[in-house]
Amino acid sequence: MCGIAGVISFREELYAQTKIFEKMQEEIGRRGPDQRGMLLTEHAALLHTRLSVIDPQNGRQPMQFSDAQETYTIVYNGELYNTAELRQKLMEMHYRFETDSDTEVLLKAYAAFGEKCLDHLNGIFAFAVWEHHRERLFLARDRIGVKPLFYHLTDTHLIFASELKAILAHPDVPHEIGIDGISQLLLFGPGRTPGCGVFRGMEELKAGFCGCYTKEEGLKTRCYWQMEAQEHTDNFAQTVEHVRYLLTDSIRRQLVSDVPLGTFLSGGLDSSIISSVAAREFRKDGRELHTFSVDYRDNDKYFQKSKFQPNSDPDFIRRMQEYLGVHHHWTVIDTPALARALFAAVDARDLPGMADVDASLLLFCGEIRKEVTVALSGECADELFGGYPWYRDPEIRAAYGFPWSQSTAYRMTFAKPEIAELLQQRGDVDREYRATLARTSLLSGESPTEQRMREMMRLNADWFMQTLLDRKDRMSMYNALEVRVPFCDYRIAQYLYNVPWEFKEHGGYEKGLLREAMRDYLPEEILWRKKSPYPKTHNPNYLTAVTQLLESRLQNPDAPILQMINREALEKLMYSEESVQWYGQLMTKPQTIAYFAQMDYWMEKFDVKVCL
């Protein structure tokens, strides 16, 4: 994986702006500590920082290729999982290769097929190609949206990058938020509306989108892929077999690496499946798989069962470790370290995020990186197979609005009165919810249940899943750790979009189809374990720690957050006994307090100005 950035301007020469580009490149340096490269022409600057995973000796970027018609230069962040097949197809078209890197394959695929190269790619990616003679920039992001790509567009230039901080390093980009940005932070956060970059003028290329930027037409973007409703003709047995094939094929493809590779292992269904398939593949080559788990100091003492978290992970992790015969690594995080990492998590995400859920992953990835450079993780299984409580509870499923965030009225109480009035008039949450349903692909004649399940999958794919993918990318790449997500294979997403709900809930179990498909890979107690979310600390000292953190920041009478947030509401949050459900089961009262502390730190760090 890598970091990419660039500036295209048709109204000014860029040769004299090297210092600006070096600063932008520095901001994404943690994504790629191994190599740095820069292409600078009159109207284009392409920047790259490389984390070497495939063919470390070659594959330097920006990479250039010329044929009879054009010279192409690419900067690319990602991994292609069908590199071998695509290279063979291009060789049959008489292309020749000088490296083993997937970058060269992608570059020559673009030369061969143009924009239609996207139809040939299986992987996670964000990339930009500059066509020197045509003076045209092509941008693209993978179908699911695993890899990020932000941009800022004005009348004079297009600036793009893997992370917001690189764009914000450009002197022409304002560090401002308007009512749109406030709405994102307060009513949607830590999620974001698809395509929104929170800062004024900042956007993100949406998942499954590409675009072209030229002097004549400016930036034109389009959707090249989305989940489409189709009739499902496979019976249950055939569906089980196809799911098993798709998932094992995806995992095996993502085990290719020229550097050390391991897997996350929580003891839950999803990571255990990935670790089991990976361990079998490693054993074929006489290798031992390294697996990694996280826990919190004293969680065994303070853990309490709940509807969302019926049991803790360690016993199940140990069972999988024994079952697989892997080399397992534990990371144990204590409360002070978790609180301290909240601001580092903002440094990584460039926005306030999922509080300790972000911070713990950042610390965890730092420990994993000491052993491996690549790790496989189980994100997105719940969104695709219907594992969350809001899929399975008919009352929650039927409720209007985003199921993980039914707290709009409560969130509004934190806004200063004049801002709350504007937010109330806009109705952003209602508008975005309706827009998501409107772009959901449906089949006529389906039952109301099946149509609602398609809507639920669209809601989760566009919103909740993107929040988790943001988190995984930023926290891992902050530590120069490449994390791959086999469940995010677009073939799995498209197939599961059309599988009937009764198949997915086979036997009355959450993700019953997945359990049936992979039952030969797991011991019984793991196979039928009830879903448990990403582990968080249960130590009551954490609430004390984050409260003190927010108190400390509010001692400043000019605390940046007070530009838009009501101090009295923050004090009520800290000192009252009220329960809070801010963002699903992952963010309750301690995490909400931490979120506001992160927000104040973020505004200070980037000198954010509120401009209504």
Q: Which helix (H) or strand (E) holds 376?
A: strand 374-376
Domain boundaries, the chain: 2-175+192-223, 236-387+408-527, 541-610
pLDDT of the residue at 301: 66
CA separation for the pair 610, 180 (Å, rounded): 11
Q: Which residues contact 595 (CB under 8 A, 6 or more apart)?
A: 189, 190, 352, 353, 354, 355, 582, 587
Sorting pLDDT into bands at 50, 70 and 90, what band is 282?
Answer: very high
CA separation for the pair 156, 445 (Å, rounded): 50
Average pLDDT value for residue range 95-103: 94
Q: Measured on CA atoms in the order 347, 353, 356, 360, is the torsion positive or negative?
A: negative
Distance of CA 326 to the CA centre of its chain: 27
Distance of CA 555 to the CA centre of its chain: 34
Q: Go through 455-473 and write b for each residue having 16 or more CB atoms within 10 A of its CB, e for each that does not.
A: bbbbbbbbbbbbbbbbbbb
Measured in residues, the chain has a length of 612
Distance of CA 380 to the CA centre of its chain: 10
pLDDT of the residue at 306: 55
Most confident of 55-69, 244-258, 385-399: 244-258
Among 244-258, 423-437, 525-539, the least confident range = 525-539
Q: Which residues on neighbouring strands pair with residue 35, listed in sequence order?
A: 50
Three-state SS for 222? strand
Active-site residue identified among 2, 196, 380, 488: 2
The token pair that represents 165 in the structure block: 């901080």
Percentage with pLDDT > 70 across the chain: 96
Three-state SS for 15? helix
The token pair that represents 318 in the structure block: 């140990």
The token pair that represents 225 in the structure block: 């892929």
* Contact predicate 387/511, CB 8 Å: yes
Task: Please indicate whether residue 212 is annotated as part of the active site.
Answer: no
pLDDT of the residue at 537: 73
Average pLDDT value for residue range 49-73: 87
Rounded to two decimals, the pTM is 0.95
Sorting pLDDT into bands at 50, 70 and 90, what band is 52?
Answer: confident
Give pLDDT tens digits for 309-340.
555 688 899 999 999 999 999 999 999 999 99
CA separation for the pair 202, 265 (Å, rounded): 36
Fold of 236-387+408-527: Rossmann fold (3.40.50)
Average pLDDT value for residue range 272-298: 95
| Cα-based angle 184, 164, 345 (whole degrees, multiple of 5) | 80
* Contact predicate 208/139, CB 8 Å: no
* Contact predicate 183/34, CB 8 Å: no
Class of CATH domain 2-175+192-223: alpha beta
Pairing relation of β-strands 209-214 and 218-223? antiparallel
Three-state SS for 465? helix
- Give the burial class of 575: count Cβ atoms within 10 A of its Cβ; 0-12 exposed, 13-18 middle, 19 or more buried: exposed
Average pLDDT, the chain: 94
Average pLDDT value for residue range 529-556: 86
User: Has residue 55 got a pLDDT over 70?
Assistant: no
Average pLDDT value for residue range 91-116: 96
The token pair that represents 483 in the structure block: 């994390």
User: Has residue 54 got a pLDDT over 90?
Assistant: no
The token pair that represents 339 in the structure block: 């609180």
User: Has residue 262 got a pLDDT over 80?
Assistant: yes
Average pLDDT value for residue range 453-466: 97
pLDDT of the residue at 57: 73
Give pLDDT tens digits for 184-202.
999 999 999 999 999 999 9
User: Has residue 540 got a pLDDT over 60?
Assistant: yes
Give pLDDT tens digits for 480-537.
999 999 999 999 999 999 999 999 999 999 999 999 999 999 999 999 988 766 666 7
CA separation for the pair 252, 96 (Å, rounded): 26
Distance of CA 185 to the CA centre of its chain: 17
Q: Which residues contact 285 (CB under 8 A, 6 or more apart)?
A: none
Sorting pLDDT into bands at 50, 70 and 90, what band is 406?
Answer: confident
- Residue 410: count other Cβ atoms within 10 Å of its Cβ: 14
The token pair that represents 546 in the structure block: 């984050």
